Structure 1
Amino acid sequence: MEENTKSPFQAAIQPGLTIGLISLVLTYIAYFIDSGLLASGWFGLVMIVLFFALIIFFGRQYRSELGGFMTFGTAFNFSFIAIIISGLVGLIGQIVLFQVIDPSLPEVLAEKTLQSTLEMMESFGASPDSLPAEQLDEIKESTLSNFTLAGQIKNFGFGLIAYAIVSLILGAILKKRDKSLDY
């Protein structure tokens, strides 16, 4: 019997590139509409929901190619590879955005993030005026460091841990056991 199915790695390349490019296009559209959108919580939430939906969609397609069944390990590998590829595409696009297209954007986003943090503190009843100026500067500098080239690469590295956790969840969602093989 001839096996024509792709390995999880081969099957994950195209979906990973597609998801990465969709994410990148949406990021650039948000940037061109209003760069402050990139720092908003709802934009991040929309991106996460879309990301999960696309991985599940492509995972189900791959499961269908496999005959309708997929082990947890195969589903995990597919998800993890697709997420890594998507993340690499996003990383390259964000490096271009933050380092080449608009090097002043990190400053804008750091300011918006600081402003959002202070507003959140107020909503919980804390007074942002009680924070020393040095602590506010430290928060802003910490946020800015995430947008440097080294910061973006470091965040991608730490993101691999999150990618693995998300892939475990997606693997559990996408797996489907062939019960006809039970004795």
Structure 2
Amino acid sequence: MEEQQSPFKAAIQPGLTIGLVSLALTFIAYFIDATLLGSAWFGLIAIVIFFVLIIYFGKQYRTEIGGYMTFGTAFNFSFIAILISGIISLIGQLLLFHVIDPSLAGVLSDQAFENALSMMENFGASADSMSPEQLEDMRANTSRQFTLSGQLMGFGIGIIIYAIIALILAAILKKRDKSLDY
């Protein structure tokens, strides 16, 4: 009988794969047009690809372990794969923003600031109603997210988001063996 991999070991390869795909998408978007990285469409496409891949690898793992997977096993598999993917993405983004193109952070920060102002106007608020200090604080906050400490803090917050996503994915991936019901 073949020994089954633990969810932790099984999640390493999918996590690496998803992280590298995410990194490739980021760099492709950067080379096409750097402002795509701040685009909502790019983010949406990346999230869809991310979910499709993690569900694919999760179903593949479920098949490997006999076709059934508990919620806990599915959560562990999903969370570890997402965490590994996130670490790879973080390393790639740190390289991109601090080594390859340090000016990119300013471009994306300006784009994020303009997007925030546009969203405020869509909800009926005007940038004119804000004081110059408030606008400057808003601009500083958007710039801060691209600094080294901002990216590391974002990753820390991302771990909580990863856990929530892993809970959702675990609910999708779990499959109970109904033959064990009495």
Q: TM-score band (shorter)?
A: over 0.9
Map 1:14-163 onto structure 2 (within 5 A). Answer: 14-163=13-162
CA RMSD across the alignment: 1.0
Runs of 4+ more than 4 Å apart: none
Q: TM-score, normalised by structure 1?
A: 0.96
| One-letter amino acid of the structure 1 residue matched with residue 34 of structure 2 | S
| One-letter amino acid of the structure 2 residue matched with residue 20 of structure 1 | G
Could you tell me how far 1:3 is from its partner in structure 2?
4.2
| One-letter amino acid of the structure 1 residue matched with residue 8 of structure 2 | F
Q: Name the CA distance, whole Å, in 2 between partners of 1:168 and 1:51.
A: 15
Superposed CA offset, 1:21-53 (max 9, x none): 000110111111111111111111111111111
Could you tell me how far 1:125 is from its partner in structure 2?
2.4
* 2:146 aligned counterpart, secondary structure: coil
Preserved contact between residue 68 and residue 177 of structure 2 (Cα < 8 Å): yes
* 1:82 aligned counterpart, secondary structure: helix
Could you tell me how far 1:126 is from its partner in structure 2?
2.1
Q: Name the CA distance, whole Å, in 1 between partners of 2:125 and 2:31.
A: 34
Mean Cα deviation higher: 88-97 or 125-134: 125-134
Preserved contact between residue 18 and residue 53 of structure 2 (Cα < 8 Å): yes
Q: Name the CA distance, whole Å, in 2 between partners of 1:98 and 1:86.
A: 18
Mean Cα deviation higher: 116-125 or 20-29: 116-125
Could you tell me how far 1:136 is from its partner in structure 2?
1.5
Percent of aligned positions with the same letter in both sequences?
65
Q: Name the CA distance, whole Å, in 1 between partners of 2:2 and 2:160.
A: 33
Preserved contact between residue 75 and residue 169 of structure 2 (Cα < 8 Å): yes
Q: Name the CA distance, whole Å, in 2 between partners of 1:133 and 1:155.
A: 26
Q: TM-score, normalised by structure 2?
A: 0.97
* 2:114 aligned counterpart, secondary structure: helix
Q: Name the CA distance, whole Å, in 1 between partners of 2:69 and 2:161.
A: 23
Mean Cα deviation higher: 118-127 or 6-15: 118-127
Q: How many residue pairs align between the two structures? A: 182
Q: Name the CA distance, whole Å, in 2 between partners of 1:123 and 1:153.
A: 31
Mean Cα deviation higher: 129-138 or 27-36: 129-138
* 2:3 aligned counterpart, secondary structure: coil
| One-letter amino acid of the structure 2 residue matched with residue 92 of structure 1 | I
Could you tell me how far 1:123 is from its partner in structure 2?
2.0
| One-letter amino acid of the structure 1 residue matched with residue 98 of structure 2 | Q
